[in-house]
Amino acid sequence: MAKNSELADELRIKTAERKLFLVNLMASPGAGKTTFIEAITPYLRLAGLNVGVIEGDIASSVDTDRLIAKGIEAVQINTGGSCHLDAYMIELALAELTTTEGIVFIENVGNLICPAGFDLAEDLKLLLSCVAEGDDKAFKYITMYAAAEAIALNKWDIASAFDFDIARYFAGVNAVNEDAPIFKISAKNGEGIADVAALLTEKYKQKFKP
């Protein structure tokens, strides 16, 4: 863990040189991380930012194949069983990725627990939650919800199919995290994606054009 943090510190210097803003995208399995990246990429490109993706999975290259087919640069990491990514994996992937001057999404392993504790040299921890998971998740996955610096609540277009109580969801989040902005989005139909893109663009400018 200490070694991971040390390596992350080194990575921060390297990524700053490449003018990369790293987004650690964390979510449950199936919350829609890859679809979200597909949806937000055009907005970021319109704002003049390049987009690259580091795909973390225990096995397979299903998501990387999807992204490359859509013209988005992506590098696959297979953790071989590990339940989260670490800074060493990110270092290897960044060496392979050619992206500069833009946003690199680190699509973490689908898991609301273990990824919260590992520093990946990210500039932003973005939690992608999902109405299909129910409105009570912040009460249970408190470490993840406390660690999140921004939250995008996905599949908002079908919230009514799940009796999703948005007030209860907000109450759960606010109990552990009063700072993270919450965006209601649909990666499928595009709702709210421009707002998340605006946040990332603004944060990129804060970092590199002070």
In the complex, which residues of this chain contact a second copy (CB under 8 A)? Answer: 28-30, 57-60, 62, 81, 83, 109-114, 130, 132-134, 136-137, 139-143, 155, 158, 161
Q: Decide whether 14 or 140 has the Cβ nearer to a second copy.
A: 140
Q: Decide whether 71 or 81 has the Cβ nearer to a second copy.
A: 81
Contacts of 89 by beta carbon, 8 Å cutoff, 6+ apart = 56, 77, 79
DSSP 110: S
Nearest distance in Å: CB 182, a second copy? 17
DSSP string, 114-132: GGGG---S-SEEEEEEEGG
Contact 115, 24 (CB under 8 A): yes
Nearest distance in Å: CB 133, a second copy? 3
Phi/psi at 192 (5° precision): 80, -10
Phi/psi at 178 (5° precision): -100, -5
Q: Which of 180, 175, 179, 178 is nearest to 153 (CA)?
A: 180
Nearest distance in Å: CB 69, a second copy? 14
Q: Decide whether 1 or 13 has the Cβ nearer to a second copy.
A: 1
Q: Decide whether 41 or 111 has the Cβ nearer to a second copy.
A: 111
Nearest distance in Å: CB 203, a second copy? 27
